[in-house]
Structure 1
């Protein structure tokens, strides 16, 4: 009897939190033209989902739920319109081909933007209700998309969309945004700059795309920290900690992590030397300092298929 009482008390003090993974079944509708090689391709998410659902990876036994999102279209479109300029949304919906030299738009790309936005919103809902952690596995990435333009493979800024949607729930809501993609999240900084009740911090490789990772911040609530090319996980983790210091100083009640895996050693688009274990350590650091039931993650970059899938699995294991 005493043992049962002790277990009950422990469960109150340390509530069990289960990871929810929300994925995007129709992501392959956003694809480059047949025969045209591109780093941002459906295989990115296919390889991750194959890893997470393989017979060798029994996430379900650890209490992980893998599901899809279901939000009213009206809500999703309202969130997109809240995040981006109407002129840009109109352009995106009618564009087929490319917005610029590196960012393509397929005839069905906008449909995938709707479902990806829905996934992020559902993860936000879960964390807002203290039922997290939740992880939105979607593509393409979003953190380079500014209020009025897409770039860097990104069309809709899902991270900023989630932050703004959360803030609209209550006049007292506060949100912290931590970007740990290898590239500076210039789009998120552009949209969230000087927005009340939000802090944004990014740790990224110095001197690479989009070229604005150094210098003056876009707003009083933006923090940039660049690390040198070739740095190891130990230095990067120090950067993550400093960024976490910044976003948590405002005592947010929701934490959004834009997580890109293009800082891995194997990634072809950048020059850091991280391993999957470094992302695992980053997640452990985050959950020690902020309640994981109030934390959501969303996928940004990561272009080596095998290394990214392995690092996503290690991230999930750290959140269980």
Structure 2
């Protein structure tokens, strides 16, 4: 793979006790250093106009002032420093770079993965929350739509938390399909099966709120039975993966049971979906707060594109997942 990376993203200082720290990127770099075929690219920061295409300009100005004044606690979870705005522009710029690379034909061992921070999928149109200030995946998707490089974009969010910001930004849009697999009841408490979009976006928002304890077999079954057929119908030109690794069984802030090998299997499945639609495929880093599990997760995505074949799980889905998938399929007429 080729990885988008910028030292600027390390300068976003959240303090010594915050789970979203620069050490996340450092751990990923250490893990990737042990692998072959890793290339790093530093893209330009995103233009502010691209940010304002998905976020309210007054909110953007407020965040800039907040950081210029030294930052602090935006809310109890979301922390900024003086360098946060520059890191945010760098992070969104990396996501846009990855999307453009994917649409330009970068695939296989050249598949792009943007390693930016702060993450983005909780940032709504006019507010920061959940460690996020600017919605990186949304900025990337909108930039390519605005430039006429694609007509339809799909975003699949496998972070353990529901990406409420990405959902809200595109909820009434028919040209962006958002799908989220997340732990039911976990922060921020959104992402119900019944939230399927509205207006022109009806039927382009798919939520799979899995029960705590779901593992590899549950995720793969849900993907095969809901996401895959839905995206085959939507036929995107670009598939962006909001890649959080906090559903890992050893992540400190979730109760899910996905293994490192499970992320390889998910990667293999989304690659197949993109190939069937002849869509570009890019990855954008979201959450993941155990340094070992995060770095191993990113490394296994890389190894999957480097030719390693993932091993199928021994166990299939549990009964809760089967019932949930039936509800999702009914909601989408699958």
TM-score bracket, normalised by the shorter chain, equals 0.7 to 0.9
What is the deviation of 1:50? 1.2
- The answer to whether 1:303 aligns with 2:289 is yes
1:287 pairs, out of 262, 268, 271, with 271
Tell me the residue number matched to 1:157.
Answer: 135
Shift of the alpha carbon at 1:244? 3.3
Q: Structure 1's 172 and 52: CA in aligned 2 closer, same or farther, altered over 3 A? A: closer
Q: Residue in 2 aligned with 1:192?
A: 170
Q: What's the offset of the Cα at 1:125?
A: 1.0
**Mapped pair 1:79 → 2:61:** no
The answer to whether the 8 Å contact 2:150/2:238 transfers is: no
**Equivalent pair of 1:180/1:240 in contact (CA under 8 Å):** no
Unaligned runs of 5+ in 1: 1-18
Inter-partner Cα distance in structure 2 for 1:159 and 1:248: 21
User: CA–CA distance in 2 between the matches of 1:39 and 1:118?
Assistant: 23
Q: Which residue of 2 aligns with 1:122?
A: 97
Q: Partners of 1:275 and 1:141 in 2: how far apart? A: 22
Partner of 1:28: 10
- Partners of 2:237 and 2:9 lie apart in 1 by 30
Deviations 1:169-225 (A, max 9, x none): 228611111110001110000111122311111111111100012253153221111
Show the counterpart of 1:43.
23
Q: Give the 3 Å change call, closer, same or farther, for CA 293–190 of structure 1 in structure 2.
A: closer
Stretch moving more, 131-140 or 289-298: 289-298
Q: 1 CA distance for matches of 2:231 and 2:259?
A: 24
Q: Describe the superposition over 1:99-150 as per-residue Cα deviations: whole angstroms up to 9, x where unpaired.
A: 1110001111000011111111111110111123210011121000000101
In structure 1, what is the equivalent of residue 325 of structure 2?
A: none
How far apart in 2 are the matches of 1:239 and 1:94?
43
**Alpha-carbon distance in structure 1 between the residues aligned to 2:105 and 2:151:** 13
The partner residue of 1:98 within 60, 73, 87 is 73
* 3-state SS in 2 of match to 1:26: helix
CA contact (8 A) 1:201 1:244 kept: no
CA contact 1:131–1:293 (8 Å) conserved in 2: no
After TM superposition, the score normalised by the length of structure 1 is 0.87
1:225 pairs with 2:196: no
Give the distance between the partners of 1:189 and 1:297, measured in 2 at CA. Answer: 17
Give the count of matched residue pairs.
Answer: 291
**1:235-293, CA deviations, whole angstroms, 9 ceiling, x for partnerless residues?**
01222332233233211111101010000011111110111100000111111232387
CA positional deviation for 1:87: 1.3
The normalised TM-score by structure 2 is: 0.83
C-alpha separation between the residues in 2 aligned to 1:209 and 1:243? 22
Q: Does 1:236 align with 2:219?
A: yes
